[in-house]
Amino acid sequence: MNALTSSRTAAVIAGIAAFGNLLLGIAHTGVTVPLLSRIGPQGGAVPPAVVAFGVGTLVFAVLAWGLWRGAAWARWVGLAVCALAILSGIGQFRGVVSAAGIVLAVALGALLLRPPTPAE
């Protein structure tokens, strides 16, 4: 896998994480989201979670953009974001959705830890 392909793959994973955070943020406003509403938040709005997932959406979206563009900062920022996402997922573990977020963050972090290779 060359550097561009690796960076684009990482960008797609970060984009998926951004979309997941967006869905979780919406679900925590009290809006019914198919599937998530069955396994996730029950009842009314949870404002701190809405804010947290909103910030997560923005962070992962900016990271996805930086990785797609091949920005020099994206790799190191991505590793920090992955570490925070893993720690947050473990600290606030809520079952399968948390596990999915942790798996995404581990996969993205592992991809970002690979040494960059020259483009073919």
User: Which residues lie closer than 8 Å to 101 by C-beta, 6 or more apart?
Assistant: 17, 20, 85, 89
Average pLDDT, the chain: 89
Burial of 29 (0-12, 13-18, 19+ CB in 10 A): middle
Q: What is the pLDDT of residues 35-84, one digit of tens each?
A: 777 776 666 788 999 999 999 999 999 999 999 999 999 999 999 999 99
Predicted confidence band of residue 114 (pLDDT cuts 50, 70, 90): confident
DSSP 43: S
